[in-house]
Structure 1
Amino acid sequence: MRKLILAVGGTVALATPLANADVLGVGANVSYWDSDLSGDVVNKGSAVDIENDLSLDSDSNANFTAYFEHPVPVLPNVRVNYTTISQTGSGRIGLEEFDGILPGASVDSELDLDQLDATFYYEVLDNWVNLDLGLTARKLDGELIVRDTTGTGRVSETTIDGVIPMGYAAARFDLPLTGVSVGGEGNLISFDGDSLHDFNVYGQYELSLLQLRAGYRQMSIDYEDDDDKMDVELSGPFASVGLTF
């Protein structure tokens, strides 16, 4: 498996944070993401279009986030995020074979993507304008299973896995005295032909400890693991509910 190495080299100055939380802060939220999927998967040199050939549809895209903020200088805040994506479909292989499955064969397919993020960040601004900068270590696991249903019984498995460092940034703008805010956050890396990005923008309403959020999320994965490669994009609206303390 190829390894990604991210050289930060001063593009994000994390050593000396400009602002810290005044008190301890803890929060968590869960969200549902209604995403559309497109792209290609390559297995040992043969490719398949996961939208047009496999007709994958979203079954469940769930996301869980928790964070811990503190007033201790130098030490970063911590954010953990887990995203699980499951898509299934029935389709037909195109004009070229895919991993031993013949052209025109009917297939059933399953795509599973799991992402576990550990993000270490600093609050650069902490008032009505909030800005966080940091680094994310993402554990990425992806698997595509394609089953030939025409009688040959051929089963193709394509897998990718890796721990990937990414730059992290989040900004939020609070509207005074309303509990309403707008913002966005994202993770990004591009290195040696591989690239990943994961962005979202949202509107948020807070009432006491309750936090309601709705927005749009886009995630792109272009990652090669030995002879297997996934070049896919997911995008669509999401809604979440959370608690902050």
Structure 2
Amino acid sequence: MRKLMLAVGGSLFLVAPVSQADVVGLGASVSYWDSDLSGQAADNGDVVDVENDLNLDSDSNANASLYLEHPIPVLPNVRLNYTLVQQSGRGQVNGNFGGVNFGGLDVQSDLDLEQLDLTLYYEVLDNWVNLDLGLTARDLSGELIVKEALTGTPSNETTVDAVIPMGYLAARFDLPLTGVSVGAEGNFISFDGDSLHDFNAYGQYEISLIQFRAGYRQMSIDYEDGNDRLDVEIGGPFVSAGVSF
């Protein structure tokens, strides 16, 4: 497996933090993401279109996050984020995929994408304009299973599995005294032909300890693991609810 290097990673942590939380802050949220999938998967040089050949559609998405902010200088704040995307579909593969000859047979396909992010970040600005910078370690696991629809054989399995360093950036603009804000956040890396980008933009309303968000999330994965490659985009609207203390 090739290891990704993040060229900008060191420079992010050279940015001196100019703001720390006055007290310990803790927050958590869960969200629903109505996502669509497009792109390709490759195995040993054979390529299928996940949308047009496999007809993959979203079955379920699980998204949850947890963060801890503190007033200790120098030490970064911590955020955990979990995403699970499961899609399945019935389509047709004409010819070979991954050395398996499907010969125009109807196929049943299942795609599971799971990722766990550990983000260490600093609050550069913390007032009505909020800006966070940091680094994310993403544990990415993906599995695409393609099998003949009626018998289950022949079948093919394409997998990617890696821990990937990524840059992290988050910005939010608060409208004072209203509880309303708009923001965007994302993780990104591009190196040696591989790239991963995960961005979302949102509007937020906060009342007491409760936060409600609605927005759009776009995730792009172009990653090669040995003979297997995923080059897909997942995007769509999301809504979330969270609490902060």
TM-score, normalised relative to structure 1 = 0.96
CA distance in 1, matches of 2:9, 2:231: 28
Aligned residues of 2:183 and 2:201 also touching (Cα < 8 A): yes
Partner of 1:84: 84
Q: CA deviation at 1:8?
A: 2.7
Matched, 1:230 2:230: yes
Match of 1:12, SS?
helix
Partner in structure 1 of residue 135 of structure 2: 135
* 1:166 to 2:161 alignment: no
Q: Percent identity?
A: 67
The whole-number CA distance in structure 2 between the counterparts of 1:62 and 1:143 is 16
Aligned length: 244
Residue 140 (structure 2) pairs with residue 102 (structure 1): no
Q: Could you say what secondary structure the match of 1:140 adopts?
A: strand
* Structure 2 Cα separation of the partners of residues 239 and 203 of structure 1: 10
Q: Tell me the CA shift for residue 61 of structure 1.
A: 1.1
1:59 maps to what in 2? 59
Amino acid at match of 1:199: F
C-alpha separation between the residues in 2 aligned to 1:244 and 1:152? 47
Look up the equivalent residue of 2:66 and give its one-letter code.
Answer: A
Corresponding position: 1:243 with 2:224: no
Question: Following TM superposition, by how much is the alpha carbon of 1:97 offset from its aligned partner in structure 2, in angstroms?
Answer: 1.9
Runs of at least 4 residues off by over 3 Å: none
1:189 aligns with 2:189: yes
Q: CA RMSD in A?
A: 1.3
Equivalent-residue separation in structure 2 for 1:208 and 1:51 (angstroms)? 43
Task: State the shift of 1:10 in Å.
Answer: 5.2
The CA deviation at 1:109 is 0.5
Unpaired segments of 5 or more residues in structure 1? none
TM-superposed deviation, 1:13: 4.1
1:68 is matched with which residue? 68
State how far apart, in whole Å, the 2-side matches of 1:91 and 1:71 are: 54
Q: Which residue of 1 aligns with 2:199?
A: 199
Note if 1:217 corresponds to 2:217: yes
Distance 1:126 1:75 in 2: 16
TM-score by length of 2: 0.96
Unaligned runs of 5+ in 2: none
